[in-house]
């Protein structure tokens, strides 16, 4: 038996992200479970407090004040629906559209709500860093950074394919001589949303900006955090292999007997190696440290990353024809990387001047490479026929 109650949402509920179950319906809806307790709301993490309020990031500013909703509970948690229709009803899915190879102008927190579920294969982005680029993006206060980003990450989780990956390029600031912790706090908060923090890649900036501080050295790296919805995801490791280098010719020319069997580590770690396995090979798998120069040619954007950064992740996590999303598109670097590799792109950019710049770069790319793009598209059609 599924219990259900109806109510109109109040302003505080909409703004803060909760639904207050009417006192007269609590026993019917909550059953014998004494609050507070963890639960699910529309299959996403939620909590019920001792006052009978269901809290979830899913609810923050999702509906208009006064919206009539139905609240029900089953074996898996709570469900919220409008006019008797489930939020994930097929008719609502069909109403959401996604136009490929387009850069949307506007706030990604709002535009993402109009995208259908699970259509994105890879998300690569570098959002505004806390209190940085105030002259261009206005800056997000350090203490509010996690609160600002969580509604966005929740939508990104919804639009990402179950086998897709989300790569977040970010670095915490130092204030008053101390590194801040908002990136760590964000990781923990995203895990509560249901994200899996799969890996942390390091972008080593080979030509980092010079500088000197009394208590630390210049910044030469940034985080590239990989998140997934499930443990099994698309990954093509062979696509990012790197040359082994000249050292192998001398080393492999004089193999000992120990090199021809698995040599187990003497410290008891369980790790081992068989050097003879490298015979006949020219490439090896890379580490999780990417050695790439920063962007020097793009003077019109204050925080552009090099095109090789998104290209590396696009090669690793997607196939030709897959869809790559950058919700903070900036000057269009991720779109260019996707096009160069025969992928489709979707971008979102809220600043008009950067939106125009991205469109100009994409148009220029098509002018120079239009025939190559057509060939890639034909190859994709042949491969899928």
> pTM (2 decimals)?
0.71
Please give the pLDDT value at position 160. Answer: 96
* Tokens at 336, concatenated: 């260019």
Residues of the chain above pLDDT 70, percent: 85
Per-residue pLDDT, averaged over 353-364, amounts to: 94
Summarize pLDDT for 84-121 with one digit per residue, the tens: 444 444 444 445 789 999 999 999 999 999 999 999 99
Domain 96-241+285-384 has CATH 3.30.750.24: no
**Number of Cβ atoms within 10 Å of the Cβ of 346:** 26
Predicted pLDDT at 44: 82
- Residue 18, burial from CB neighbour count under 10 angstroms (0-12, 13-18, 19+): buried
Q: pLDDT exceeding 90 applies to what percent of the chain?
A: 48
Residue pair 296/306 in contact by the 8 Å Cβ criterion: no
- Residue 299's pLDDT is 45
In this predicted structure, the answer to whether residue 379 has a pLDDT above a threshold of 70 is: no
**Which pLDDT score is estimated for 89?**
44
Q: What number of other Cβ atoms are within 10 A of residue 345's Cβ?
A: 25
Average pLDDT for residues 24-51, to the nearest whole number? 86
Say if residue 382's pLDDT is above 50.
no
CA distances from 194 to 8, 78, 124, 278 (A): 28, 16, 19, 40
pLDDT at position 235: 98
Name which CATH class applies to 3-90. mainly beta
Q: What is the pLDDT of residues 324-350, one digit of tens each?
A: 999 999 999 999 999 999 999 999 999
Residue spans of the domains in the chain: they are 3-90, 96-241+285-384, 243-278
SS (H, E, C) 69-112: EEEEEECCEEEEEECCEECCCHHHHHHCCCCCCEEEECCHHHHH
Specify whether the CB–CB gap between 146 and 191 falls below 8 A: no
DSSP, collapsed to helix, strand or coil, labels residue 262 as coil
- 134 band by pLDDT with thresholds 50, 70 and 90: low
């Amino acid at each position: 038996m599924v219990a259900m109650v109806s109510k109109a949402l109040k302003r505080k509920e909409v703004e803060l992200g909760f639904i207050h179950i009417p006192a007269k319906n609590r026993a019917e809806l909550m059953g014998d479970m004494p609050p507070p307790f963890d639960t699910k709301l529309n299959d996403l993490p939620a909590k019920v407090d001792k006052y009978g309020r269901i809290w979830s990031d899913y609810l923050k500013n999702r509906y208009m004040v006064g919206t009539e909703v139905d609240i029900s509970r089953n074996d898996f948690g709570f469900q919220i629906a409008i006019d008797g229709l489930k939020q994930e009803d097929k008719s609502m899915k069909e109403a959401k559209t996604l136009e490929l190879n387009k850069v949307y102008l506007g706030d990604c927190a709002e535009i993402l709500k109009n995208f259908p579920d699970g259509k994105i294969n890879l998300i690569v982005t570098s959002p505004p860093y806390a209190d940085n680029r105030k002259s261009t993006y206005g800056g997000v206060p350090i203490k509010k950074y996690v609160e600002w980003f969580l509604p966005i990450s929740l939508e990104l989780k919804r639009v990402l394919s179950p086998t897709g990956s989300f790569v977040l390029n970010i670095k915490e600031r130092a204030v008053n001589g101390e590194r801040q912790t908002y990136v760590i706090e964000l990781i923990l908060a995203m895990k509560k949303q249901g994200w899996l923090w799969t890996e942390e890649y390091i972008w080593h900036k080979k030509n980092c900006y010079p500088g000197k501080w009394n208590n630390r050295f210049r910044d030469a790296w940034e985080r590239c955090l990989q998140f997934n919805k499930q443990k099994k995801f698309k990954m093509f490791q062979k696509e990012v292999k790197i040359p082994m280098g000249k050292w192998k010719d001398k080393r492999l020319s004089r193999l000992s007997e120990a090199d021809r069997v698995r040599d187990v580590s003497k410290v008891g770690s369980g790790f081992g190696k068989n050097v003879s396995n490298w015979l006949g090979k020219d490439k090896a798998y890379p580490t999780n440290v990417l050695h790439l120069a920063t962007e020097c040619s793009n003077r019109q954007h204050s925080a552009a990353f090099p095109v090789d950064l998104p290209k590396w992740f696009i090669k690793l996590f997607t196939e030709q024809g897959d869809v790559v999303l950058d919700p903070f598109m900036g000057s269009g670097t991720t779109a260019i990387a996707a096009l160069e590799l025969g992928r489709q792109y979707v971008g979102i950019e809220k600043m008009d001047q950067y939106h125009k710049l991205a469109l100009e770069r994409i148009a220029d790319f098509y002018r120079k490479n239009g025939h190559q793009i057509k060939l890639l598209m034909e190859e994709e059609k042949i491969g899928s026929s």
